[in-house]
Structure 1
Amino acid sequence: MTLDWNNRVAALGAGSGALLAALFFPAIFNEYEILQMTIYVILAILALSLAFIWGCGGILSFGHAVFFGLGAYSYAIAAINFGETTSALLLAIVVPCLFAAALGYLMFYGRISDVYLGAITLTVSLIFFKVANSTSGPAYTIGKAPLGGFNGIPSVPRLTVPGFPAWELDTIGLFTLCIVVLAATYIGLRYLVASDFGRIVVSVRENETRSELLGYDVRRYKLVTFIIGAGLAGLAGCLYANWGNYTDPTVFALSQSVQIIIWVVVGGVGTFIGPVLGCFFIQWLTTWLTTIDTINKDVILGAILTLMVLLLPQGFVPTLQQRLRTRQARTVRQQEKTA
């Protein structure tokens, strides 16, 4: 009952926040500022995808950017070749899911340990980054779409309203879509974790052996969790390609995967609002640091990660929640003493 009530409150809050942002932000901020906010929202969706597979499924992927990049490239190539974007959007979700299904099947049904799983996902990320960088020149095309190597794919068609190919989303329309997708992802994941499937996934994370002894196929639950996270990352990649009308091999880069991990760690593993807030904060900080020539942003981000692990190992949101609960319990005890 409490979980259901919490989910309803979270859904109401996320929905109301998304509605207010979509209605009032375009009237308050100029188009450039809206464009900057849009990338924050897109990356927050990416953060939620890792928050689900790591925080709920206990699967730490060091190459999560692979699915983000596959979504971006799949959308760009399909949109250029198909001449319409609805099927390209679907393909941007399906391709990462299929790749996650193949990779996850080999890892989970092969009984790969967590250490080797991290090494495999890291290696896959480096392979995709290397291959994408090596596809420059006219010989490397898929249909009408030139891969461009390190130069990337320019002039990616922006999403259009299904059935109305001439109705292309402008900056405000894309911002609104991203806000809606973020809210829907947040609400959907909370309800998914509260479902029977989600409870089993969490039980597998807590004690895999016990869950297996209870009759659950832990490999299947891990695989499905991995695929769901990959699909969300692919959706974020699709929106990213729309945001800049461009994509390049940096979407596969190891630095991108590390950033996703930092967002989740700073916000709090095991929560959903935490990674969103962590993403917003780190991205804002990164943008601000790039304006200062005398400071290396990577050093600052590394220092933040180190401090968070040492001082707030649970992350910002879980630590704040724990302190609020402690204060509330102390207040109750004081009231009982005075009563």
Structure 2
Amino acid sequence: MIALSKTDYGALAACAVAAVVIALLPQWINLFSLLSLTVYLVMALLALSLAFIWGFGGILCFGQAAFFGLGAYAYAVGAINLADSSWAVLLAVAVPALFAALLGYFMFYGGISDVYVGVITLAVTLILFNLLNASSGSEYRIGEAALGGFNGIPAIPTLNVPLLPDMILSPEALFIVAGLCLVAVYAGLRLTLGSRFGKTVIAIRENEQRAALLGYDVRLHKLLVFSIGGAIAGLAGCLYANWGAFISPGVFGLAQSAQIIIWVIVGGRGTLLGPILGCIALQWLVNHLGTQGFIDSGLVMGLVLMAFVMLLPKGFLPALQALTRRMTKRSKAELQKEGTP
């Protein structure tokens, strides 16, 4: 049973409008801008995965880059070895989800505390980075796909129409697929959070001990949230590998892991839309600074993070919502005062 509020219905209606806009947008903008927007949407999907795990599941995970990279590598290996990229997409979602389930099982059923969950997921990410970075020999291959070490895997086959391997997607079609995936995952998570499972997950985030005393299996719910987040990050990795037709161990790097955390903090933890907006805004800022050549984007990201942690600890969207509520209440109070004789 899913209990949706008026806000949820409004969000789902907005998703339908966004899907239509995404489908029509390639007719209005040039190819270069479309490619830039595609990677923005892909990274927004990655930010959404952590928004669900951390913002609603209460699990501070530094390993989203691991699931993202596993999804990208799984797609690359599958697309090179299989004639149809449809099966490679399934691999890109299934491999990170299963990896997250296995890792989460040992962490949550092993009674690992929240702080150590963050440490373990970060360590796993760095282990994957070093393993793939050291796989440059000719013997490191899976079927026809050579892992390539620090050189990565080039010339990754592009997505094709499902079950029609001869019909390769154009850059415009890939943009539409990335956008519709983002909208669909956002809508799916909204529906999930409106369900009994979602409400239980939020209850566990608020008070884990009380939820356990009420009879809820805290470990199982955390494991499911962690696995769902891993699957979403893997889907983002699949789309990223398609966007650049190349993947390297750099996706497992510390910089990538830190960026995802910053996107969620800036956008607003505890929301789904906030991290999407934060991700797109910060990516645009970093790309714009990269064209200047005299301002270090890493320094700017650090300053942005410090500013939000000190001035807007809840993030941009929650702060904007709180300001809107205060202004609405003030306006209503002023109208009532003016109407009083």
**TM-score, structure 2 normalization:** 0.97
Question: Could you tell me whether the CA contact under 8 Å between 2:160 and 2:168 is conserved in 1?
Answer: yes
Tell me the residue number matched to 1:42.
42
Cα contact 2:133–2:149 (8 A) shared by 1? yes
Q: Which amino acid aligns with 1:252?
A: F
* Contact 1:3 1:194 (C-alpha < 8 Å) held by counterparts: yes
For structure 1, the 5+ residue unaligned runs are none
Letter in 2 for 1:310: M
* SS of alignment partner, residue 167 of structure 1: strand
Q: Which amino acid aligns with 1:225?
A: V
The corresponding residue for 1:122 is 122
Q: Is the 8 A contact 2:50 2:264 kept in 1?
A: yes
What does 1:164-183 correspond to in 2, within 5 Å?
Answer: 164-183=164-183
- Asked if 2 retains the 8 angstrom alpha-carbon contact of 1:40 and 1:283, the reply is yes
- Partner AA of 1:201 in structure 2: V
1:7/1:187 contact within 8 Å kept = no
1:232-271 alignment, distance < 5 Å: 232-271=232-271
C-alpha separation in 2, matches of 1:11 and 1:244? 31
Does 2:226 correspond to 1:226? yes
Match of 2:301 in 1: 301
- In structure 1, distance between residues paired with 2:314 and 2:59: 17
Instruction: For 1:210 and 1:129, locate their aligned partners in 2 and report how far apart those are by CA, in whole Å.
Output: 38
Distance (whole Å) between structure 2 residues aligned to residue 325 and residue 8 of structure 1: 19
After superposition, residues 130-141 of structure 1 pair within 5 angstroms as: 130-141=130-141
- CA-to-aligned-CA distance 1:34-65 (integer Å, 9 cap, x gap): 01100000001101000000000000111210
Partner amino acid for 2:10?
V
Structure-1 residue corresponding to 2:12 = 11
Q: CA deviation at 1:177?
A: 0.5
- Gaps (5+ residues) in structure 2? none
Contact 2:75–2:91 (8 Å) recurs in 1: yes
Measured against aligned partners, the alpha-carbon deviations of 1:41-100 in whole angstroms (never above 9, x if no partner) come to 000110100000000000011121000000000000011011211111001001001110
Q: What code does the residue aligned with 1:11 have?
A: L
Matched, 1:88 2:94: no
- Corresponding residue number in structure 2 for 1:326: 326
The one-letter code sitting in structure 1 at the alignment partner of 2:13 is L
Quick one: distance in 2 between partners of 1:50 and 1:116? 17
AA aligned opposite 1:20: V
Give distance in 2, aligned partners of 1:15 and 1:128.
38
Aligned pairs (5 A) from 1:189-208: 189-208=189-208
Deviation string for 1:99-145 (max 9, x for gaps)? 10110001001111111111101100110111111111212111100
| Deviation, structure 1 residue 296 | 1.3
CA contact (8 A) 1:63 1:254 kept: no
Provide the TM-score with structure 1 as the length reference: 0.98
Q: 1 CA distance for matches of 2:21 and 2:297?
A: 33
d(CA) in 1 for partners of 2:321, 2:215: 34
Alignment root-mean-square deviation, CA? 1.2
Output one character per residue of 1:190-244: Cα deviation in whole Å (capped at 9) or x when no partner: 1111110000000000000000000001000000000000000000000000111
Kindly indicate whether the alpha-carbon contact (under 8 Å) linking 1:71 and 1:93 is maintained by their aligned counterparts in 2: yes
1:215 aligns with 2:215: yes
Query: For residues 73 and 2 of structure 1, do their structure 2 counterparts lie closer, same or farther at Cα, with a shift above 3 Å needed?
Result: closer
| Partners of 1:53 and 1:59 within 8 A in 2 | yes
Matching residue of 1:26: 26
Kept in 1: contact 2:84–2:164 (CA 8 A): no
What is the one-letter code of the residue matched to 2:219?
A: R
Give the structure 1 partner of residue 111 of structure 2: 111
Deviation track 1:159-183 (CA, whole Å, cap 9, x = no partner) reads: 1111211100010010011111111
In the alignment, does 2:291 pair up with 1:288?
no
CA contact (8 A) 1:46 1:233 kept: yes
Distance 1:63 1:182 in 2: 20
Matched, 1:161 2:161: yes
Give the Cα–Cα distance (whole angstroms) in 1 for the partners of residues 98 and 209 of structure 2. 27
* Aligned structure 1 segments of 4 or more residues deviating by more than 4 angstroms: none
Aligned-partner SS, 1:291: helix
Aligned to 1:316: 316
Partner amino acid, structure 1, of 2:241: A
Distance 1:79 1:164 in 2: 13
How far does residue 2 in structure 1 lie from its aligned partner after superposition?
Answer: 8.8
How many angstroms apart in 2 are the aligned matches of 1:18 and 1:295?
36
In 1, the alpha carbon distance for the partners of 2:319 and 2:213 equals 33
Contact 1:44–1:182 (Cα < 8 Å) also in 2: yes
